[in-house]
Amino acid sequence: MLVLVDDKIFRFIDEPGIFNHLYQIERKESYLYHHSLDVAIISGILARWLELPNQDVNDVVLAGLLHDIGKVLVPSGILDKPGKLTPEEQEAIMLHSSYGSKLIKKLKYISNKVNLAVFQHHERVDGSGYPLKASTEKIYLPAKIIGIADVYGAVTSNRVYKQRISPFDAVGVLEDMMGSLDISICMAFLNNIKDCFIGNNVLLSDRREAKVIYWSKFKHARPIVQTIDGECFSLEKTQVNIVDFLG
């Protein structure tokens, strides 16, 4: 596991256009497998954007890779259920972070820092998270990072109960969640990821293809695009939306 982090995942973290690749890659293996890799990579990128020391980045990546390991102890019938979960099933899902922490404690070569990040990755700064409803000052920084990466990775992936959304819509989801996520970390992620998508081709709701040429850092700002026939306009001033991400 540790060799995998050193030799593989860090290559993706430093690769230009990695967010494009994560969205467009064909997913043949299980959701949990791909989601764990996605969260590890995205968490590592965010840790780099926050200029954390290399060892801390390594811990964040490993915790991201292991963050959902506790789901191996959740019945597959609940994890793979296509419909709405019952309250009892939701409680069973919410136990996965505690399960994961207990599993990691058995692995002596994994640090307590990594274990804590796995345990807390669903905590929220407003106290609405789980398993302990911890307040912001009690939530470990890597857990806050992984929590943001987890949300982005989940909503941009197809799940058994919900189709994925585009990276552009995912930005809006995170902006709407700003009250429950660490604001400074979330803003660092959003500001940097917006820059990553400038220059990408998209499909508009009027079926035209366009290129993203600018995206303001202001909250809920929408991109400025240029169509293939040269027309430039802001999506804030029109009913046209981005419906697909072409890379």
Domain check: are 93 and 46 in the same one? yes
For residues 226 and 157, state if they share a domain: no
Q: One digit per residue, pLDDT tens: the chain, 247 residues?
A: 555 465 677 778 878 788 888 888 877 668 888 999 999 999 999 999 999 999 999 999 999 999 999 999 999 999 999 889 999 999 999 999 999 999 999 998 899 999 999 999 999 999 999 999 999 999 999 999 999 999 999 999 988 888 899 999 999 999 999 999 999 999 999 999 999 999 999 999 999 999 999 999 887 788 999 999 999 999 988 899 898 888 7
Domain hosting 244: range is 198-247
Could you tell me the CATH number of the domain that includes residue 67? 1.10.3210.10
Longest dimension (CA), the chain: 60
Same domain? For 175 and 229 the reply is: no
Quote the Cα angle for 15-68-85, to 5°. Answer: 125
Residues 188 and 171 both lie in one domain? yes
* 68-34-133 Cα angle (round to 5): 25
- Do 51 and 157 lie in one domain? The reply is yes
The 10 Å Cβ neighbour count of residue 138 is 13
Rounded CA separation 185/31 (Å): 26
Q: Are residues 20 and 74 in the same domain?
A: yes
**Does the N-terminal peptide bond of residue 82 adopt cis geometry, omega within 30 degrees of 0?**
no
With tokens 């345990």, the residue in question is 119
Domain count, the chain: 2
Do 189 and 212 have their domain in common?
Answer: no
